[in-house]
Chains A and B, each alone.
Chain A
């Protein structure tokens, strides 16, 4: 067996007066790069970034599974409540995790819901962060399907969530990587994807505030795959039009999950961005 350079660990994570058993993976050393996975998935999406020697030579890459996701457990008593992600909870979780891990002025990169929350971090925590990288960032996504079916006792949640994720990827991405991305979705707990989408499609509307982002305090890089119809290049363009200094690239032939659906193509876009951030 050929071992990868990634190591995974568990930790006790206290946040919002609750204790979570949190799982994270890391590799490399240098500038901290904190990676945020998409709604209903987990940190495995960043496998290629964590395994890229060119990146880990200069960056300490850390990807954590949000509570309820991947190998991170929900808190005690989860059975009594619905999981619903909100802007406040998400922002606090990221900043608390960075503090707990002693990540000093990290670069934060997030995709989809993570691409949305980096815009919120740009507004509220710019001085504490070195740079922000938003993948598939949009200020808001109107509901275009009824996501309550993804958490319904008479519909298999894994199958339905997987089928939704499947369509968001590019037909040009390698089949094996696309189906692995689907598999991560199929493994999500009941109601978790829907709970994340509460932030993405209902509560986390940031359209009214993005004009206040100051990229001279914290640089903002936005990379969007052209095949994404959830957070489309047009949605990111609408952000760029209002955020002076944001650097935007459309990723040709990629979809909603660039880092996992086509790792090689994605790294081609990410490496120059990280080199530019490291050189600042």
Chain B
């Protein structure tokens, strides 16, 4: 060691023991470390982290801001002291790993409190460096009152401002999960909240019609949402006062930057660890990088999407923990455990609305080269006669040629995590839509419909694949309103409240008698509340010789655009 500035060489307690160094101490880092120690109690495992906290519930931060989680300590799963006591792992908080020497097999670490440099030799190194919020390089981003929400410290500062009554108006930049959750929590604290999103809708990974459903819901709850809008700068002197977009200026005492996160890869990249196409560290199914004895887990590492078999990046706690366990087994007991891939399964609560997604969106499936068929089906989470049931809308996406299930999204006030988990399981085992349709799922009125929402959605999709019915999605309909003959098949009262612009009303029971009011040659779309009445009318019109007819997928209940 020629560099004299290193005062300390960390040797641990037993010089002969295998030395494991983990960089990063939130979900994946602590999981890996703990699992290694459980597999091999003789190994000396240390965790090095810049942060003051380890093993904290990053996903809980928005709820701490909102006061749903009352105290800071509830967020922290384990303190470093507890962690050491329980696991025998040494944790160095406020220590920054600065450089890896892959030949010497050690890590140069700076003690952020004392500025002292330390060297940690390793036999095996685990990179769990996580991800950092991306803050666009705009003017004013360093003003006071501008925050990202990633660490406990971020949340503490925001909560303090809110508790002190210093925030009347807030702007959230970015409509992903964290942004939406923070928006909800700030709103619940009585703060006026505006949200600015660059793309066409909030919830970027979701398909547009599903995301717009959630967006309308958030607007009704009182969040002002501006989409297709770019934040240009933040203005104020010292403290932020307003947000300037390409369309307007919005006053704000607090600005939350939540446009996304980027994997922390610099320390790895410097020593030639391979970075994948997604920009995160490439690992194989054993969590090994291209450099021997160096592993990567959690948000800094890349995954494989099980549907496409291609690299993907899902910075999520659920995936991070699984990667940690796999790495832990492989390092601790020289096993060959694998994580073949993930589906990006996720779920979020927005006020009383729940939204979940697994696998590919329709957009991503098409991008990946699949020819798809989709269904958009409103149903209930319980029997419709059981008090307290709620509607959920399922969007199901399958490969038109093989009928393999590619992805799904479920949104509504009801239970969405059960159906999304059913579908995630089905996709994992390569199910076709016909398999999904025939699943034997638990049923009693308080829990499900006799034909559960997932099965109904699969049945509708099967009807479409077999040519029993043709559908048109809400977006396609909205874009072609003026070209189509639109028939609302609901009762007169429902029609009066609001229908698709330009639609005429013929209740499905009258369709035989009144079919002559329609132009047989014109492309016709049948609309009802959920889809069933339109389907009945569809069958009748087919009998009468109508050929070019479709029903509106998801009915009025899933139609997220303007009504008249």
State yes or no: do A and B come from one complex: no
Where the two chains meet, the residues of B that have a C-beta atom closer than 8 Å to any C-beta of A are none
Residues of A within 8 A of B (CB): none
